[in-house]
Structure formats: structure tokens, C-alpha cells
């Protein structure tokens, strides 16, 4: 029997709308963001995600605004105490972690995400949270991400999300160019930063976080 050919993703063009550049993070506090104040803080101009007690479910820091097509410029790194990946979630919505039998308030389960996740570092790749799970990314793209990425140092990233296409520039290299074969699963939604569920203490740091809505189709940070 012949295997079914993988479904070719349609090419949805960039959407049109008002283009403006917004500093999502003011460098001082979490004004404009929503999440657990005991897990997210600001120190020395950097957003710090930190948990000491086990986290039963991944939790997120959400922008109050919603975004469809956008360019996000930011830097992120893992703290020295953990190897668990983080990521930026997009094109989805805030949910309470379903199907886990958790107490939303006691178990830090109110601020989770259903939607797409651009993962980093620790394996990199793409995920569809609370839907399709792992998304198929070509092996050569994963290899490029791992080669360009730094496990415990700052990674400078540019996410360009347009139509059904996600591109990622990592430390000056275009490493990911992916189209969603199911565009109906894409929606305008908040951008959110991930603190992954784990039994151990973790720390993830974010800075920059400047977004441009309905941007030109151009990668600003790619050097090749």
C-alpha cells in the first residue's frame, strides 16, 4: 500500500490591517501582561519566570492585547537551574487546563494556552497546545535551530507570523519557515510566554518584546 502523501499546506497570504510597533514590555513592571504574580516578575529590566514548587501544568504570561499577523522581536534564555524548554504561544486563547482534574486556583491552572507554540531551547520545534500536540517540522529545520541556538545564554529571536506562515530567525539565522496545513485553527489571540510544567525549580528570562502588527513581509534580523 502506498502511504498517503502529507497534506500540502495552503498558502494563505498576509492579512491586511493597521501596522504599528508596540513595546510589549516597559522594562520596569508587568503592565500590559496577565499571569501569576508569584511566578512572573521583573528584575533588572528582564521578565523572570521562576517556580520553586512543582508545576502541574504549563502556565503563561499573556499580553492583554490580541494579535493576528505580527513580527515579534525578543531575547530569551534558560536560567542555569533547568533544561526544560520554554516558548512563545500565539494564534490561540487562554484556557483553564482541561482534563487533568486540577483545582484551577490551587494548582496554577488558570493561565494556560490553547494554540501554537514556538519552542526554545531544549529541542526547539513547534507544538499545538491542547489540540494536535507536536507539529511536524522538517528535520533540517530542527537541526538548524539546534545549531544556531544557545542552551543557557541569550537567544535573539524574530518571529514573523503572517497568514498561516510562521518564520523564526534565531541569532541572525532563518531557521524555521512553516505553514499550517489547517489554517482554520489559526485565530487572533494574545501572545504568551511559557513557564513549562515541571517537578523541579525552573527559571526562564525574557527581554525586548517589541511587536509590530501587520508587518511588511521582511525579516529584519536575518543576516544571510
Q: What is the pLDDT of residue 3?
A: 53
The pLDDT of residue 54: 95
- Buried (b) or exposed (e) across 63-82, using 16+ Cβ within 10 A? beeebbbbbbbbbbbbeeeb
Q: Which residues of the chain have pLDDT under 50?
A: none
Which one-letter DSSP state was computed for residue 211? E
The pair phi, psi for residue 147, each rounded to 5°, is -70, -40
pLDDT (tens digit, 9 = 90+) per residue, 158-180? 999 999 999 999 999 999 999 99
**pLDDT of 5:** 54
- Annotate 70-106 with DSSP letters as a single string: EEEEEEEEE-TT----EEEEEEEEEE---SS---TTT
Q: Cite the DSSP H helix spans in the chain.
A: 139-148
Tell me, what's the pLDDT at 98? 84
CB atoms within 10 A of CB 23: 11
* CA neighbours closer than 13 Å in the CB half-sphere of residue 126: 24
Query: For residue 100, what pLDDT is reported?
Result: 78
Amino acid at each position: 500500500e502506498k502511504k498517503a502523501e502529507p497534506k500540502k499546506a495552503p498558502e494563505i497570504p498576509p492579512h491586511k490591517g493597521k501596522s504599528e510597533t508596540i513595546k510589549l514590555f516597559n522594562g520596569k513592571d508587568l503592565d500590559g501582561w496577565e499571569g501569576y504574580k508569584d511566578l512572573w516578575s521583573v528584575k533588572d529590566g528582564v521578565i523572570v519566570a521562576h517556580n520553586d514548587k512543582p508545576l502541574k501544568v504549563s502556565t503563561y504570561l499573556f499580553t492583554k492585547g490580541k494579535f493576528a499577523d505580527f513580527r515579534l522581536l525578543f531575547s530569551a534564555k534558560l536560567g542555569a537551574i533547568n533544561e526544560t524548554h520554554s516558548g512563545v504561544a500565539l494564534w490561540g486563547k487562554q484556557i483553564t487546563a482541561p482534563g487533568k482534574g486540577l483545582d484551577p486556583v490551587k494548582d496554577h491552572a488558570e493561565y494556560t494556552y490553547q494554540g501554537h507554540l514556538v519552542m526554545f531551547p531544549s529541542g526547539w520545534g513547534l507544538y499545538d497546545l491542547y489540540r494536535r500536540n507536536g507539529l511536524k517540522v522538517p528535520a533540517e529545520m530542527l537541526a538548524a535551530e539546534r545549531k544556531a541556538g544557545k542552551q543557557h545564554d541569550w537567544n535573539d529571536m524574530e518571529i514573523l507570523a503572517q497568514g498561516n506562515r510562521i518564520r523564526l530567525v534565531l541569532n541572525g539565522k532563518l531557521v524555521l519557515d512553516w505553514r499550517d496545513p489547517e489554517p482554520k485553527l489559526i485565530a487572533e489571540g494574545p501572545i504568551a510566554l511559557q513557564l513549562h510544567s515541571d517537578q523541579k525549580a525552573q527559571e526562564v528570562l525574557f527581554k525586548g518584546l517589541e511587536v509590530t502588527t501587520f508587518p511588511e513581509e521582511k525579516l529584519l534580523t536575518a543576516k544571510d
